[in-house]
Amino acid sequence: MTEYFGQEYQRAQRTWEQILPECSMNTIFITPLWQSVWWKRFTPSGKLIIEVVDDGEFDLGVIPLHINEGMASFIGDSNLYDYMDFPVVAGKEELFFTKALKKISQLDWQTLKLESIFEDSPTLEFISDKSRALGMDVEIKESDKTPLVLLPDTWDEYLLQLRKKDRHELRRKFRRLDANGDSEQIEVNVDSENVDTVMDQFFDLMALSGEDKSIFLDTDNRGFFKDIATSLSDSGQFRLFFLEINGVKVATCICFDYGENFLLYNSGYNPEYSSLSVGLLNKANTISTAIESSKKQYNFLKGTERYKYHLGAQESSVFDVIIKR
């Protein structure tokens, strides 16, 4: 077993990996691999807490927290994680949070800030109720939207799910792209030898597509993206796509292939080709790939950009929970 966080956390990591398939909120962002990649890249000051909660016979879940200067939070950064949560065995949430909060309350913090919890997560109900029962102040607020599409069995069925205008526009855009040169979407398998080259191609297009994205791509975030690429590629969970026109890369996106879900993590395009809607069409092609792979859901992750709704997304939300002693 690869020790993601170090030997002292070996048992907790093993439990974490074993229970994930049983967790209702099983996403790539709450895997020990993802969180350890973030931890090693950014190495924040403060204390790392990874503790198993059990009922004396069976493991119920894991407490993964970072505590620094009186603030306790999930391990990670909500700007890089679209979902955050406790890994808890489905159906065992009430017992888990009863026991977990007793442990957490013994730690040295004044504020417990739990960000980016999906709207259907049992955490929102149970940690709020249990914390209030212990006399703590609890605030829950919506922090973002994560639009998603429930996928049918075929592309044609997907098109029929779209609003009539959106369906017509998508077909028209594909015809226009086809009429403007030799275009194709390619997928690049990332490994330790090509990661710098192909990820720099991704970063170039991402930076071109908006000033906010260019600012976001600092040295640490670029390094994190590369770390994730090499860490997840062997399992087939990291998928890097480019749209090419006449051999020129004009759009790109990173998707995560995790369980029954395809998740659009980040993207970019060359604005010189914006008249051909290359960014949107590149993403539409990944929806087709997800359908061909029999995925059940395509998740656009955080943000309310209009193109997501033109491609059939329905709204869902993530929430922050702030608990104070």
Whole-model pTM? 0.95
> What is the domain count for the chain?
2
pLDDT tens digit string along 242-281? 999 999 999 999 999 999 999 999 999 999 999 999 999 9
- How far, in Å, CA of 118 to CA of 142, rounded? 10
Domain check: are 139 and 196 in the same one? no
Domain check: are 172 and 247 in the same one? yes
1 or 104, greater pLDDT: 104
Q: Residue 250 in contact with residue 184, Cβ under 8 Å?
A: no
Token couple for 294: 């029999």
Res. 105 pLDDT band, cuts 50 70 90: very high
Domain check: are 197 and 272 in the same one? yes
- How far, in Å, CA of 259 to CA of 26, rounded? 9
As a whole number, mean pLDDT of residues 222-244 equals 98
Which residues 6+ apart lie within 8 Å of 221 measured at CB?
80
Token couple for 273: 């080709």
pLDDT tens digit string along 166-222? 999 999 999 999 999 899 999 999 999 999 999 999 999 999 999 999 999 999 999
Domain check: are 157 and 74 in the same one? no
Whether residue 180 lies inside any domain: the answer is yes
Predicted confidence at residue 181, as pLDDT, reads 86
Q: At 234, which CATH number?
A: 3.40.630.30
Res. 9 pLDDT band, cuts 50 70 90: confident
Domain encompassing residue 263: 148-299
Predicted confidence at residue 142, as pLDDT, reads 98
Domain check: are 41 and 62 in the same one? yes
Whether residue 265 lies inside any domain: the answer is yes
Predicted confidence at residue 1, as pLDDT, reads 46
Whether residue 310 lies inside any domain: the answer is no
**Across the chain, where does the E strand assignment appear?**
47-54, 59-68, 71-74, 111-118, 137-145, 148-150, 183-188, 238-245, 248-258, 261-269, 297-299, 317-324
Whether residue 2 lies inside any domain: the answer is no
Q: Does 4 score more than 70 pLDDT?
A: no
Residue appearing with tokens 């890369």: 249
Whether residue 1 lies inside any domain: the answer is no
Res. 2 pLDDT band, cuts 50 70 90: low
Domain check: are 52 and 186 in the same one? no
As a whole number, mean pLDDT of residues 228-237 equals 96
Dihedral, CA atoms, 234, 151, 264, 308, nearest 10 degrees?
Answer: 170
Domain check: are 278 and 161 in the same one? yes
Mean of the per-residue pLDDT values of the chain: 96
